[in-house]
Amino acid sequence: MPTLVMKFGGTSVATLDRIKRAAKRVGLEVANGYDVIAIVSAMSGKTNELVGWVNETSPIYDAREYDAVVSSGENVTAGLMAMTLQEMSIPARSWQGWQVPLLTSPIHSAARIQQIPTENILAKFAQGMRVAVVAGFQGISPEGRITTLGRGGSDTTAVAFAAAFLADRCDIYTDVDGVYTTDPRVAENARKLDKISFEEMLELASLGAKVLQTRSVELAMRFKVKLRVLSSFDEPSENAGTLVCHEEEIMESNVVSGIAFSRDEAKITLVSVADRPGIAAAIFGHLSDAGVNVDMIIQNIAEDGRTDMTFSCPTEQVSRAEKALQAGGPENHVNFQQLIADTSVAKISAVGIGMRSQSGVAAKMFKTLSDEGINIKVIATSEIKISVLIDRKYMELAVQALHDAFELEKPHS
């Protein structure tokens, strides 16, 4: 029988009623002829309770014990979900990470999946089991300790299972009904996308769209896993959610697929830096050591052997960045006249695979912003993305204007 992976996040299994609702979704797919692997998160709130206890117990905790404690929430949901399915006369059983076994690296709390042997679960499918309910977010290390995968780990678990079992699709059930052209709270006419390419989804995810975790999208792209994001609260339907897939499967596509934005950006300019080889390496080496996530980087044209260097980073990392750069000392090779931090900027990005083949997107973006009287402070581009930093107070205006300019409210023609 074909296999389907279905993943239910914390809000989709928050109560026994919601677990029942999720189980009914699973039942529909079993009736459709699928053997289902259901990946479940902890009931929402439970993991936070456990993390709270850990933090109260020990400020600098042993990550191995942290993982042993916080992974327990998923085990509870997995057992309850298996029972619920059995109540519906669907042969099901739960699997904890170590039972699969889902083998990971030994990096606790941020482990990476290394292998998912399929024999045990396939043997049960062969014996008539129709649903394997798997506790998400957890695995075991080579030493047999429990590991967790870190943020978004259950999405990653789901995609990895879909890859290992060659599943027809990996459905991620969450509390939003798909991927939108932009945040509907900012642009009222934002439209749900039926399909989006992996590349675009990756850019959107890394730009702050919280629907899917970047790692899970990367993994899906690498292993060609068809990924669908949909709401567990909507009625089941054929076209529910958004399908994340290879661009070849998207017949028609707008040049721009979505407008992403991030409110908490800061711009830092180092004025009059000595322009010599290795200076960029020195600056961004210091920042990296200090754990500053640098995003956009611009270097102005040098004059008289000196230059200005500008970069952006999250607002809450500004003081850390300043400290790292001003630390000084003879072995600190960064030498600049002045550091200017602008913490009232926002980043706006237009994302679309159509940009590769179609020119004029950047020009249209800049003109639209200019028409609204919005000044662009920094520009950065990738193959399928154009990002700009602007004054934060114009953020909503810019998003709406660009959404209108690229006609994102209309389906692809």
Q: Which of 313, 331, 311, 316 is nearest to 270 (CA)?
A: 311
Q: Which of 143, 153, 149, 145 is nearest to 62 (CA)?
A: 145
Residue whose structure tokens are 């973006």: 365
Tell me the H-state helices in 32-136.
Answer: 46-57, 63-70, 72-87, 119-126
Taking CB under 8 A as the criterion, the residue among 12, 41, 47, 96 binding a second copy is 96
Q: Does 119 bind a second copy (CB under 8 A)?
A: no
Element (H, E) at 195: strand 195-197
Contacts of 311 (CB under 8 A, 6+ apart): 267, 268, 284, 287, 294, 295, 296, 297, 298
Q: Does 61 bind a second copy (CB under 8 A)?
A: yes
Stretch that binds a second copy, among 74-82, 149-157, 166-174, 342-350 (CB under 8 A): 74-82
Stretch that binds a second copy, among 69-77, 182-190, 213-221, 287-295 (CB under 8 A): 69-77
Q: Check: CB of residue 25 under 8 Å from CB of residue 232.
A: yes
Stretch that binds a second copy, among 92-100, 158-166, 193-201, 262-270 (CB under 8 A): 92-100
Nearer to a second copy, 19 or 240 (CB): 19
Q: Does 8 bind a second copy (CB under 8 A)?
A: no
Stretch that binds a second copy, among 53-61, 209-217, 311-319, 323-331 (CB under 8 A): 53-61
Nearer to a second copy, 82 or 270 (CB): 82
Taking the CA of residue 28 as centre, how many other CA atoms within 13 Å lie in the half-sphere pointing to its CB?
11
Taking CB under 8 A as the criterion, the residue among 39, 146, 209, 283 binding a second copy is 146
Q: State the nearest-atom distance from the C-beta of 70 to a second copy, in Å.
A: 8
Angle, helices 46-57/72-87, rounded to nearest 10 degrees: 160
Nearer to a second copy, 54 or 374 (CB): 54
Residue whose structure tokens are 């027809």: 168
Is 58 exposed, middle or buried, given 0-12, 13-18 or 19+ CB atoms closer than 10 A?
A: exposed
Stretch that binds a second copy, among 66-74, 326-334, 357-365, 380-388 (CB under 8 A): 66-74
Q: Does 65 bind a second copy (CB under 8 A)?
A: yes
Q: State the nearest-atom distance from the C-beta of 30 to a second copy, in Å.
A: 17
Q: Check: CB of residue 241 under 8 Å from CB of residue 229.
A: yes
Nearer to a second copy, 150 or 208 (CB): 150
Cα dihedral 114, 227, 180, 371, rounded to 10, equals 70
If binding means CB under 8 A, how many residues of this protein chain bind a second copy? 35
Q: State the nearest-atom distance from the C-beta of 100 to a second copy, in Å.
A: 11
Q: Does 90 bind a second copy (CB under 8 A)?
A: no
Q: Does 144 bind a second copy (CB under 8 A)?
A: yes
DSSP 354: G
Q: Which of residues 315-354 bind a second copy (CB under 8 A)?
A: none
Q: Which of residues 277-306 bind a second copy (CB under 8 A)?
A: none
Taking CB under 8 A as the criterion, the residue among 51, 83, 380, 397 binding a second copy is 83
Taking CB under 8 A as the criterion, the residue among 58, 293, 337, 375 binding a second copy is 58
Q: Does 19 bind a second copy (CB under 8 A)?
A: yes
User: How far apart are the C-alpha atoms of 245 and 225, rounded to whole Å?
Assistant: 8
Taking CB under 8 A as the criterion, the residue among 62, 249, 303, 371 binding a second copy is 62
Concatenate the DSSP letters of all residues of 229-294 into one string.
EEESSSPP-TT-SEEEE-GGG--S--S--EEEEEEEEEEEEEEEEE--TTHHHHHHHHHHHTT---
Q: Does 226 bind a second copy (CB under 8 A)?
A: no
Residue whose structure tokens are 């995609």: 159
User: How far is it between the farthest Cα atoms of the chain?
Assistant: 79
Site for a second copy, rule CB under 8 A: 16, 19, 50, 53-54, 56-58, 61-62, 64-66, 68-69, 72-73, 75-76, 78-80, 82-84, 86-87, 93-94, 96, 98-99, 144-146
